């Protein structure tokens, strides 16, 4: 059974508050023997799960109703252990009391139970307070390596308070700067040609428009690009599409590739932007058993430069031949 966004918000800001919430929930279940306390942070989904395993204490009378005053649970499940049979009838939602466990509606013979409650995780800085991320850049001959590490900041108290903690789909952002690579290749006259074309479209002054038109033609002829400007622009845009830029990236280690996208602007005119960097997003998972992950993102810089240079006619190329 699931319940959607009702009433008072939990308002979680950091993992300490989640642990406090786990403590309060354990206190509500003091008539039982709590046998497991776990938390799973679902980063991409923006929520977290609390899992509490508990069992009936032999010979101890039980409160037949346990009230858990959480009002914004996205989901709440109650299952028996070890069969994981769903106990829908024993879990209800009450607008005044929150989540309510009714032992009178629990099947006979069930004495070990797992409670799962999912709540929203909305605080933007939550993960930065929980996980330390570092990037070290190492330029080499043909590639630039970005060494990535992610690890829990305060491992000991986490292990003291929780039996399990899992961070799923932890984002790791690396800024791959390409501005300098492009600057060394792209002809100055081509950039000027685009700027003149922009000014030509924007000006309303007749004499200035004629002057700009003559300059635009002269630059196009100097660039050997007369009639091919749009094709050059299309090739640059195609090379810098995230789906194509991915081919210049290698990810090694304990991270997996997720996405990349353009950021910043080395050059901008209407309907055409050359970004100054590509923001590469990889992901990983952290647990109490594996509290730190390492990886290497390789940017095949030389291959990227060679392919970018091939867009332009040979007579316009700026770079000197490499030995």
How would residue 3 be classed by pLDDT, with cut points 50, 70 and 90? Answer: very low
Q: Residue 23, CB half-sphere, CA atoms under 13 Å: how many?
A: 9
Give the bridge partners for 144, in sequence order: 139, 299
Q: Domain 128-185+223-316 belongs to what architecture? A: Sandwich (2.60)
User: pLDDT at position 94, please?
Assistant: 84
User: pLDDT at position 117, please?
Assistant: 93
How would residue 240 be classed by pLDDT, with cut points 50, 70 and 90? Answer: very high
Q: What phi, psi does 102 have (nearest 5°)? A: -110, 105
Residue-range domain boundaries for the chain:
15-120, 128-185+223-316
Asked if the model's pLDDT at residue 15 lies above 90, the reply is no
| DSSP letter for each residue of 279-307 | EEEEEEEEESSS-EEEEEEEE-HHHHHHH
If one compares 185 and 14, the residue with the highest pLDDT of the two is 185
If one compares 4 and 36, the residue with the highest pLDDT of the two is 36
User: pLDDT at position 14, please?
Assistant: 75
How would residue 18 be classed by pLDDT, with cut points 50, 70 and 90? Answer: confident
User: pLDDT at position 7, please?
Assistant: 33
Whether 56 and 111 have beta carbons less than 8 Å apart is answered as yes
User: pLDDT at position 291, please?
Assistant: 97
Q: At what angle do helices 229-239 and 188-202 cross, to 10 degrees?
A: 110
Going 77 to 81 to 82 to 85, the CA torsion angle's sign is negative
What average pLDDT does this structure show over 204-208? 83
How would residue 251 be classed by pLDDT, with cut points 50, 70 and 90? Answer: very high
What average pLDDT does this structure show over 253-268? 95
> Could you read off the pLDDT of 78-128 as tens digits, one per residue?
998 888 889 888 888 888 888 898 877 877 777 888 999 998 887 778 888
Q: Using CA atoms, how far apart are residues 69 and 232, in angstroms rounded to an integer?
A: 62
SS3 track for 20-37: HHHHHHHHHCCCEEEEEE
Asked if the model's pLDDT at residue 45 lies above 80, the reply is yes
User: pLDDT at position 96, please?
Assistant: 86
Asked if the model's pLDDT at residue 252 lies above 60, the reply is yes
Asked if the model's pLDDT at residue 228 lies above 80, the reply is no
User: pLDDT at position 5, please?
Assistant: 34
Fold of 15-120: Immunoglobulin-like (2.60.40)
> Could you read off the pLDDT of 291-311 as tens digits, one per residue?
999 999 999 999 999 999 999
Asked if the model's pLDDT at residue 160 lies above 90, the reply is yes
């Amino acid at each position: 059974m699931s319940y959607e966004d009702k009433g008072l918000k939990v308002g979680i800001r950091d993992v300490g508050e989640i642990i406090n919430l786990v403590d309060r929930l354990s206190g509500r279940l003091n008539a039982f023997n709590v046998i497991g306390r776990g938390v799973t942070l679902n980063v991409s989904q923006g929520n977290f799960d609390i899992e509490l395993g508990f069992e009936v204490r032999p010979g101890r009378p039980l409160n037949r109703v346990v009230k858990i005053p959480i009002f914004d649970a996205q989901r709440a499940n109650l299952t028996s252990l070890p069969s994981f049979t769903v106990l829908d009838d024993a879990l209800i939602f009450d607008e005044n009391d929150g989540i309510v466990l009714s032992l009178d509606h629990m099947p006979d013979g069930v004495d070990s139970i797992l409670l799962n409650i999912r709540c929203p995780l909305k605080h933007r800085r939550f993960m930065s307070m929980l996980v330390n991320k570092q990037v070290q850049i190492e330029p080499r001959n043909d590639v630039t390596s970005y060494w990535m590490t992610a690890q829990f900041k305060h491992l000991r108290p986490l292990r003291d308070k929780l039996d399990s903690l899992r961070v799923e789909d932890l984002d790791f952002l690396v800024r791959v700067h390409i501005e300098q690579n492009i600057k060394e290749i792209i002809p100055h006259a081509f950039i000027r040609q685009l700027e003149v074309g922009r000014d030509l479209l924007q000006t309303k002054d007749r004499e200035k428009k004629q002057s700009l038109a003559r300059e635009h033609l002269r630059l196009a002829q100097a660039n050997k690009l007369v009639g091919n400007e749009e094709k050059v622009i299309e090739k640059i845009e195609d090379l810098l599409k995230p789906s194509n830029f991915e081919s210049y990236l290698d990810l090694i280690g304990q991270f997996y590739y997720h996405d990349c996208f353009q950021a910043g602007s080395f050059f901008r005119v209407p309907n055409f932007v050359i970004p100054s960097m590509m923001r590469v997003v990889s992901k990983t998972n952290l647990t109490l058993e594996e509290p730190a992950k390492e990886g290497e993102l390789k940017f095949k810089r030389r291959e990227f430069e060679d392919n970018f240079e091939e867009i332009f006619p040979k007579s316009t190329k700026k770079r000197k031949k490499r030995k």
